[in-house]
Amino acid sequence: MFVVYSEVHRLHHPPFEIAEGGTKQPVPEAPARMDCILNALRQTGWAHFVEPGDFGVDPILAVHSADYVEFLRTGYVRWREEAAELGPNIDPSVLLGVAWPPRRATGRPTTATGLAGYYAMDTYCPITAGTYAAALTAAHGALTGAQLILDGEQAVFALCRPPGHHAGRDFAGGYCYLNNASIAARFLSAQGKVAILDIDFHAGNGTQDIFYADPAVLTVDLHADPERQYPYFTGYVEECGEGHGLGFHHNLTLPLAADDAVYLAALDEGLRLIRKARPAYLVLSFGADIFGGDPIGDLAVTTAGIGEIGRHIAALNLPTLIVMEGGYNTDHLGANTVTVLQAFAVAQPSSNHQKIIDRGG
């Protein structure tokens, strides 16, 4: 199996976030997550690593607004200039919003500080000098995986960091800046019908935002009930799409401490919806935070259960791009990721493993 991965993700390593209750704490979405997964993949014998190609910005602008992408590209540099004028108590290493627009707001600020709130939904998306480069490379990793699928691969793993499913058309949130899975799905949709299956612990509110009125991509999302868990305002079962996209989005919520059996029952309902739609391609947003020992989650899914989840999804027999989202128990993250991938892995590399991914970079 191809694993698309780049070390560029290490450029994004914020020193802190502002957590619930206003506490300043280390960011759990850190480079160590990738090290755990890489170590486990290198022991498999079937993981074949490839660097992301360069697909330019157009596939990203097909999903995200141009002004938002420009903010991600330039916001930190502007922040450094502003911070120098704000005095010695200001930490210039992190750009983080402090004010967010209510739904009735119409004004768009011009300062980096104001824009950091304007283009964010929470305090879990600090921006540093390397954030844009890492996010752009992650998006290109997902696009590289999508191109490999179009080239004939049955399954590809895009080991993306930062993750993406909380990033909407024009906002960041929940450690996410560019929506890797949605960018890849839009790219694939030019060649056939696409379904996104999101099995991260949290609702993929960004993916829902992007495709909510769009029938080109079916979105099915299994997650903790937003009544009790982030993102709180999105992911309810009654949210089914709107306009031409009505009926093309499905939220399947999970109760507190849902175990393997409860999760698999909900998953099978999601898979039924996908089979009914008969897509040509599947994009799987995989979050290992469904694991019972995850410090951010509250489910009770085991490693064996995650393996069974992978087998149920692989049974769709669709060309599948698997995109990494969350997962924060670093003691088990590698094993949980490999376990779900194992269902898609092939014993021998295909002829496509000899191809060189080159999109101008």
Taking a C-beta distance cutoff of 8 angstroms, is the pair 180, 163 a contact? yes
Domain chopping of the chain, boundaries = 2-65+130-354, 67-118
The active-site residue out of 12, 140, 165, 166 is 166
244 is catalytic: no
Q: How far is the C-alpha of 246 from the C-alpha of 14, rounded, in Å?
A: 38
Per-residue pLDDT of the chain (361 residues; tens, 9 = 90+): 999 999 999 999 999 999 888 889 999 999 999 999 999 999 999 999 999 999 999 999 999 999 999 999 999 999 998 888 887 888 889 999 888 888 778 899 999 989 999 999 999 999 999 999 999 999 999 999 999 999 999 999 999 999 999 999 999 999 999 999 999 999 999 999 999 999 999 999 999 999 999 999 999 999 999 999 999 999 999 999 999 999 999 999 999 999 999 999 999 999 999 999 999 999 999 999 999 999 999 999 999 999 999 999 999 999 999 999 999 999 999 999 999 999 999 633 444 544 444 443 3
Peptide bond preceding 231 in cis form (omega within 30 of 0): yes
Residue 66 burial by Cβ neighbours in a 10 Å radius (0-12, 13-18, 19+): exposed
Taking a C-beta distance cutoff of 8 angstroms, is the pair 27, 326 a contact? no
Q: How far is the C-alpha of 129 from the C-alpha of 139, rounded, in Å?
A: 18
Peptide bond preceding 162 in cis form (omega within 30 of 0): yes
CATH class for the region spanning 2-65+130-354 = alpha beta
Beta pairing partners, 301: 291
What is each CA distance from 232 to 115, 218, 226, 325, in whole angstroms?
23, 22, 4, 18
User: What's the predicted TM-score (pTM) here?
Assistant: 0.95
